[in-house]
Amino acid sequence: MVKQLSIIVLGICLVSFGIQDRPTIYLIGDSTVRNSNQEYWGWGSLLGAFLDTTQVAVANHAMAGRSTRTFRKEGRWDRVKEKMKPGDYLLIQFGHNEGSKPDTTRQGYRGVLRGVGRDSVILDWGNGETEVVRTYGENLRRFVREAKQIGAHPILLSMIPRNQWDEQGHVKRASQDFGLWARQIAAEEQVSFIDLNEITAKKYDEIGSEQVKAKYFPGDHTHTNYHGAMENATSVIEGLKNIQHPLVKYIK
C-alpha cells in the first residue's frame, strides 16, 4: 500500500513538474490581441484553443489602447520580462495605435515616429520629466533584442487588417507602412515573421465587404467579434505552418 501511494505521489509530482517546466508563449500587443471578450474579442484570447496546452502555455499580456511606446512606458513590458525564461516564445503584434504624431497632448500620448530608423524626439512633460520617443521599428527592435537576451524566441506579426476597402474591392493592406516595417525588423534581426495582415486580408477579399462587416465587425472598422478573432487566430496558426516554425509541434 505504501509503495503504491509512493508511486502515485511520484506520478503527480512528475506531471506537476512537466506543467511548470513547459514553455510559455507570451503575447504583447493591443486590443486586437486582447479585448474585453464580450462584444469585442482579440485573437490572443483564442490562440490556446489550437494548441496542446498540456505542453505549452499561453500568456496574453496585450492590452487595449496600447502602442509599442505606451506598452513599455507603462511598465507592461518589464512585467513580461520578469516572467519570461529561456526557451519561451514571444509574439509581437502592434500597429493600430501608433499613427498619431507623438507629443504631449492626449491624442499624441501613444504616437510614435514612423519607419524603422533610430531617430528619436524628446518630449518635455514638465516638472523635469522628459520622454524619448522612438520609431515604430526601433521599438520592435528593442522588444526583439531584449527577448533574445533572456533566451526567448520572438516572432513579429503584422497587424490584423481593418474593415477598410479600396476602390477595387480589396481590403487595404498594411504592406507599405506598419506591416512593412515589422517585416523589415524581422529580417534585420533574423527572427520569424508572420504576415497576419495579408493572410487574413486574403480571406476577407474572398468573402467580400458586406459579409465581412456582417460576420466579423459589430461596431468600428478595427475590433472584431468572437468569430473575427477566431479567424485571426486561425491565421496565426496558418502563419506558423507557412514558415514551419518550431511551435507547429504544439498545434493540436
Q: Find the angle CA(114)-CA(119)-CA(125) to the nearest 5 degrees.
A: 85
Task: Give dist(CA 136, CA 113) in Å, integer.
Answer: 6
Task: Give dist(CA 203, CA 128) in Å, integer.
Answer: 50
Give the end-to-end CA distance of the chain in Å, rounded to a whole number: 38
Residue type, 137: G
Spatial contact of 112 and 131, defined as CB atoms under 8 Å apart = no
Written as nine digits, the cell of 15 is 506531471
Residuewise pLDDT in 10s, the chain (252 residues)? 545 544 443 444 344 444 568 999 999 999 999 999 999 999 999 999 999 999 999 999 999 999 999 999 999 999 999 999 999 999 999 999 999 999 999 999 999 999 999 999 999 999 999 999 999 999 999 999 999 999 999 999 999 999 999 999 999 999 999 999 999 999 999 999 999 999 999 999 999 999 999 999 999 999 999 999 999 999 999 999 999 999 999 999
pLDDT at 19: 55
Task: DSSP for 115-168, please give it.
Answer: SS---EEEEEEETTEEEEEEBHHHHHHHHHHHHHHHT-EEEEEPPPPPS-B-TT
Task: Give dist(CA 139, CA 185) in Å, integer.
Answer: 10
Task: Give dist(CA 156, CA 3) in Å, integer.
Answer: 50
Model confidence pTM above 0.75: yes
Spatial contact of 111 and 98, defined as CB atoms under 8 Å apart = yes
Q: Which of 22, 40, 23, 20 is nearest to 31 (CA)?
A: 40
pLDDT at 1: 54
Task: Give dist(CA 5, CA 42) in Å, integer.
Answer: 45
Spatial contact of 90 and 26, defined as CB atoms under 8 Å apart = yes
Q: Which of 125, 157, 194, 174 is nearest to 28 (CA)?
A: 157
